[in-house]
Amino acid sequence: MPYDLPRIPLPTGASSADLARLPAAIRRQALFSARLNTLGPLAQIGADIKGILDGNKSASEARRDIRQALAEAGYQPPAGEEGGLLDHTSRRRLDLILQQNVRAARGYGKWAADMDPDRLDLWPAQELVRVFARRVPRGTWRQRW
């Protein structure tokens, strides 16, 4: 099933902690990476995620293309952080970006497929209800917890 990436690249100098405080609606609609404030590499990341999801690109090809986009944008890793998670050209950082986004997209795709009306008619959810009262009432949730 083809994947149309609806997320908008959002260049930002914010840290991951700052980005976590953004409203959920923005986080759902935006494609960003902490402290990556250049549009070109973000657009490349989006294209590569789509390529991986569509089966047209491998993770190694995506890493190569993102590194090239970062180089073209003049990206330099923070001093002393070369090869670590703060370096956008490192394999660890690129794998984190690609894996998180691919997993999120696949999870959303599964959820969307599970919400298909025909599928829901075949396997409806069940609501568990107590038909009879207990001999010894357990009290309320607040009392128990």
pLDDT on residue 1: 41
For residue 85, tell me if it sits in a domain: yes
pLDDT on residue 44: 97
pLDDT on residue 2: 46
Domain enclosing residue 124, as ranges: 8-144
pLDDT on residue 129: 77
pTM of the model: 0.77
Distances (CA, A) of 74 to 17, 77, 127: 25, 10, 56
For residue 136, tell me if it sits in a domain: yes
For residue 2, tell me if it sits in a domain: no
User: Which segments in the chain show pLDDT lower than 70?
Assistant: 1-6, 126-127
For residue 38, tell me if it sits in a domain: yes
pLDDT on residue 130: 77
For residue 15, tell me if it sits in a domain: yes
**Structural domains in the chain (count):** 1
Tell me the β-bridge partners of 117. Answer: none
